[in-house]
A = this chain, B = another copy of it.
Amino acid sequence: MADSYLHAPTLVRATTPLVQCLTNAVVMQFTANALLAIGASPAMVDTPAESFDFAGVADGVLINAGTPSAEQYAGMERAIEGATAAGTPWVLDPVGVGGLAERSAFLRRAVDKHPAAIRGNASEIVALAGLGAGGRGVDATDDVADAVEAAQVLARRTGGVVAVTGAEDLIVSRGRVSWLKSGDPMLQLVIGTGCALGAVTAAYLGATQDTDIDPHDAVVAAHAHLGAAGRIAATRATAPGSYAVALIDALHQLDRNQLANLTHLREENR
Contacts and interface: CB of A to CB of B under 8 A. Distances in A.
A71 interface: yes
A51 to B, nearest CB: 10
Interface string A10-37: 0000000010000011111110110011
A159 interface: no
Contacts of A99: 53-54, 57
B26 A47 contact: no
Contacts of A4: none
Number of copies: 3
Nearest to A50: B100
A244 interface: yes
Q: Most chain-B Cβ atoms within 10 A of its Cβ — which of A18, A45, A136?
A: A45
A27 B24 contact: no
Interface string A65-94: 011111100000000000000000000000
A241 B244 contact: yes
B37 A136 contact: no
A131 to B, nearest CB: 21
A118 to B, nearest CB: 21
Interface residues of A, number: 60
Given A18-B136, A32-B191, A249 B241 contact: yes
B139 A41 contact: yes
A254 to B, nearest CB: 10
A49 to B, nearest CB: 4
A93 to B, nearest CB: 15
Contact of A246 (B138, B241, B250, B251): B241
Given A29-B29, A57-B136, A103-B50, A45 B252 contact: no
A44 B25 contact: yes
Nearest to A27: B29
Contacts of A71: 69-70
Interface of A: 18, 24-30, 32-33, 36-37, 41-47, 49-50, 53-54, 57-58, 66-71, 96, 99-103, 136-139, 188-192, 239-242, 244-253
